[in-house]
Every structure is written in C-alpha cells, then in structure tokens.
Structure 1
Amino acid sequence: MHTFEQLATFIAVYENGSYSGAASALGKSRTTVREHVMAYEDTLGYPLFEIVGKKAVATDKAEQLYFRAKVVEKQSRELFDYSQALFSSDVHTLTITHDVFVPLNLMVETEQSIKQAYPHLVVNWLHRTRQEALAMLKAGTADFSLMLNRGKVFAETEIAWKTLGHIHLNCYARPESPLAKMEQVSLAHLQTETQYISENFLTLNVDFAKVSPRLHVVSNNDVLCELIKQDGWAVMPKEYMSAYLLSGQLAELSLQELPGSKMIGLNVFFPIGKEIHPVFTNVIECLVQKGCEMLA
C-alpha cells in the first residue's frame, strides 16, 4: 500500500519533470525524493520514470496513474482541512478580502446584514490582489475573498467557492473620442487606439480584456477612468462605470463583434470546512443572496 508522502512525491516529480524540481517544490532533498519514488515503484512493481539527462520522463503507466493520484491527493488535503475546521473556536472577527471590481453596494449591504445578526462581530474589509487573497485564505488570516472568476474548473489552491452572480463588462471612452462617435466599433478600430487595462484583468488573463497592441496597465481604477477621459479606451465592469456614464464624463462603446455585455463571474472563496460553522454559513448565504439580487 502506498503512503500519502509517496503519492505526493510522485505527483511533484511528474509535474516538475525532475527529482531536483520536485525536491525544491516539496522542500526536501533530492535523495529523499528519489527514495520515496523508488519505494512507490517497489510497491507498484513497475517503474514510474526514466532518467534522461537531468529529466525524469514519466512512463506510460505513470501517465495513466497521474490523474487518479492527483484526485486522491486533493481529496486527502481537503479532508485534513475539513477536520481542522471542526476545531474552530468562537468567531469574534471576520476578515473579508476583495478585489477592486466587487460592487460597493454588495459589500455595504453585506456589512449591514452581518451587524444586524452579530452586533459584536468585528468585520474587516481588505483590498488584496488575487495572489495575496489566496495566500491569506490558505494561511487562515482571511475568512472569505470576493474575486472574479478566472474561468477555470479548479482554483489555484485547495479552497471552496460559490458563485454570487456576474459582472458585466463593456468598453468605455471619452464622449469626444472618435470611437464614441461611431454607431458600431470593430475590434480593428479598438486596436488603433491606446487601451488602458486594469491590473486585475491582466492578472486574470480575462478573454477580450487585451485587444490593442498599445496596452497600458493601471492598478487603480479611478486613475484608469481619469486617463480614458483624456485618451484611449478600456474594458471595465458596467457596475463600476455607471456614475461616469450618468455624469456624461465617459461613454459606452457599441461593439460589432460583441453585442451586449461580456459577462464574468464573481465568486466568494473560502477555506474548505469553513461552511460548517453557523456564523460563516450565514455569511456565505448572505453573500449569495445579495449577489443574486444585485448581479442577476
């Protein structure tokens, strides 16, 4: 029977393509990694890798074994996280991280609902990048994270999530822009103008976010909006741009290739097992309910 350590080592060698790479990823010595693989091969009765130079090339049997091994490893980690969550103490503080595109009214109304249900609970709202938010969830320094969906089946780490609804994306420019004066704008037209892109979109690699070869990256959305008042255009969430449209400072572009809005999901992410605590369960339900109401 294999051990979990042997399984994890096999997966690390397979994914890194070498014993040295696996050793670095696991924080172990190359010798230890090789010993675990050899012990697993002895248990199985066949080789898993062929050494070609400095590379560990997976055998046909290893190729067939990898996916099932990955599933077992993932489930084992999730079981551990869930078992740890059973020992959670009483909740006194709630920390929620969010990216810059989460609608303000969603956060404000969630805060009000939490205060009504739990008057003594301290709620922290922290703006973080996706990488920072995921690290905080894994380390237990954040309880939830509100972030856009990357369009992938699995998250980057072992966490759970629920969908809150969809953010609607459109293209925007200043009213005086040649683009804004066109009845319909083609992607070819957009490629001739400077495009400002939010760092959030660049990190997520959202489809349709990168169009123009003249791409300027901006971290702050308010700065981005001020820039496109002067020149160029940007893909932005419709919910975020409504005030600029109402005041006439910016205009929404009508695209030939994309009638209507491009939609991207907004999720609440949380550590596995978090939902078993009644306070966290209620917060998740509150977010899902309000998200469905606001982001239908």
Structure 2
Amino acid sequence: MAFTSDNVLLFLAVLDHGSFSAAARALGRVPSAVSMAVAHLEAELGLPLFERAGREPRPLPAARALEPQARQLALQLRELDAHALALTQGLEERLTLVIAPELLSARWTVPLAALAAEHPLLDVEVLAAPQADALAMLHTGRAQLALVFERPRLDGREAFQQVGEETLVAVVAPGHALLRQAGQAGGLGEAHLVRTRQVVIAGRDAGVADARVVFGRHVWHTDSPEAACSLLEAGLGWGWLPRSLVQWRLDAGRLAELPLRSLDNHMLLCVDVVWSRERPLGLGARRLVEGMAAMRAG
C-alpha cells in the first residue's frame, strides 16, 4: 500500500506550503526527510507527483488528481482521532433519542445537527414512541434521552430539562355532530365531550394515556398522530392534538377547532427532555441536552 496516514499528511503539506522545506517546518521535520518520503511515495506509486526542474517542486496533474481523495482521507483521520479522544472523555458508542410522535415536528434537529458537527462519527439513533413507551425505554436503558410532554406526576427516577412548549387544541371533522350541537347550545361543555367518542394518542401497553387529555367515556387509542388525524378527519371522534400537527389541516378545512364554552380550547404543555437518574449521561447526551436548552433560551 503506497499511501499511509503519514505520507498523506506529508503529501498535502507539500501541496499547501509549496516547498519541501516549508512542509518540513510545518511538520517538524528536516527538508531532506520530506523530499525522500515524497520520492519514496512516487516510487511506490510508479507515478511522478512533482516537477523538480525549478527552485521549488511544482505539482504535476497526477498530484492534483489525487489531492481531493487525500484531503478526504486526512479529514477522516482527524475525525477518527477526535472520536477516539471523545470516547475516552465519556462519549457514547451510540446515542438513542426517543421522541413522542406528537413532537416529531419540534425543533430537535437543530441541536442534533450541532452535536453531529462536534462529533461526526457518533452513532445516533432516533426513535418515535408514545410517551409512556418512550419513558419506559429510558428505564430499561434502551434509550438515553426522551423528548416528551411534561408528566402529570414527577418520577424520582427521572431527571429532566424543559426545552419548549406545545399547545394542544380540541379538534373534530368539520361535519361532525359536535359542531351542530355547539351551534344549538352556544358552545360545548364538558358533558358534550364526555358522551362523544374521543381519539387519544397513547402507549401500546393497554392504551396508557395522559389523564389530563382524556374526557370521553368511549375512547379509541392509537400510537400514531397521523392515524389520529385520519380518524378525526373521518368523523370518528374528537381529540386533543398539538397545534403544530393540525394547523395545516385547520387551514385546509380538513379539521375544525371545537368551540368550547366551559373549557379553554388551548392546553399549554411544557416539552421536556428526560433521562434516567440511574444511568449517568454520556458526553453526547449532555451536549444534546445543553443544545436543546440553549435553543429554548435563545
């Protein structure tokens, strides 16, 4: 193998500095060693790389042709060294973030992009799971971080950082009977919601749902926000859904907000990134939590 990590860096140094002596100073070597190493590389390749007729070596077309791949390899070597150092400092081999599906449209990709720029070789896994399932994944160690709504009760096993807010709105299909009842009654009360089928996004384990958003006696469960929207658009019930998820459907007339009389049709919930106190966070997870918090503060 002609190219090695050492002579790739040396080859690029000669290209960047324009002479063997300048490259030698940059690398902390003597000029004769650099010149001999380049000559050895040319012999191994069977290909001249530099024209030596003048005072300084001039790159030949072959050297320019090899330059892009050499620079890519040098970048990969630097990333590999940085990744190895980060692993010694506590960087995870893999970072798993699980997100409540209602929050997939939140701005979690921005701090994740910053983390990827800082640690480009970090293996990241992003999963979507209903909130109860996402929190269960934390406690089993399947995921290190969960992006979820605030919990009705605090769990001593969990630590968290608030990173945003989300507004839930009660919506229904435009032709649903609830809207006709609202017109007749001058708005809807809790009794109307209780006796009408409700569509709820919940965990897969026995339909575990947030009690704060469950009003109906007859409840259908799904673990998918898109499925919930489809059920509501089909007129099969009403539901509380994030405004970021349904706004375009409201604008298009595919869903309508319920005119509530005795309740506020805007439920503001905090959005938290949560982790287990029983497992220390690695470097990547800490950086991601800091990035999410900084984005909210900014």
Which TM-score applies when normalising by structure 2? 0.59
Structure number with larger C-alpha Rg: 2
Partner of 1:230: 234
Q: CA offsets per residue over residues 92-125 of structure 1, 9 Å max, x none?
A: 4221011212142423323322223322222210
Q: CA offsets per residue over residues 166-215 of structure 1, 9 Å max, x none?
A: 221111011122333536221222234222122249524332x2222222
Aligned-partner SS, 1:266: strand
Partner of 1:248: 253
Matches within 5 A, 1:140-289: 140-155=141-156, 158-180=157-179, 182=182, 184-200=187-203, 203-207=208-212, 209-231=213-235, 232-272=237-277, 278-289=283-294
Give 1:267 deviation, angstroms.
Answer: 1.3
- State the number of aligned residues: 204
Q: Distance in 1 between matches of 2:203 and 2:247?
A: 19
Report if aligned partners of 2:150, 2:269 keep a CA contact under 8 Å in 1.
yes
Q: CA offsets per residue over residues 40-90 of structure 1, 9 Å max, x none?
A: xxxxxxxxxxxxxxxxxxxxxxxxxxxxxxxxxxxxxxxxxxxxxxx9743
Tell me the amino acid that sits aligned with residue 213 of structure 1.
Answer: R
Aligned-partner SS, 2:101: coil
Give 1:239 deviation, angstroms.
Answer: 1.8
Tell me the amino acid that sits aligned with residue 255 of structure 2.
Answer: L
Tell me the amino acid that sits aligned with residue 250 of structure 1.
Answer: L
Q: CA offsets per residue over residues 124-181 of structure 1, 9 Å max, x none?
A: 10123445434443444422111222221334xx231111232211110111223335
Give 1:223 deviation, angstroms.
Answer: 1.6
Unmatched segments (≥5 aa) in structure 1: 1-86
Q: Distance in 2 between matches of 1:103 and 1:292?
A: 20
Q: Does 1:127 align with 2:131?
A: no
Matches within 5 A, 1:32-47: none
Report if aligned partners of 2:131, 2:202 keep a CA contact under 8 Å in 1.
no
- Structure 2 vs 1, CA of residues 229 and 106 (structure 1 numbering), >3 Å: closer, same or farther? same
Report if aligned partners of 1:165, 1:292 keep a CA contact under 8 Å in 2.
no
Report if aligned partners of 2:202, 2:208 keep a CA contact under 8 Å in 1.
yes
Report if aligned partners of 1:161, 1:267 keep a CA contact under 8 Å in 2.
yes
- Coordinate RMSD, CA, aligned: 2.8
Q: Distance in 1 between matches of 2:104 and 2:295?
A: 11
Give 1:272 deviation, angstroms.
Answer: 3.0
Report if aligned partners of 1:171, 1:252 keep a CA contact under 8 Å in 2.
yes
Q: CA offsets per residue over residues 17-49 of structure 1, 9 Å max, x none?
A: xxxxxxxxxxxxxxxxxxxxxxxxxxxxxxxxx
Partner of 1:100: 101
Which TM-score applies when normalising by structure 1? 0.60
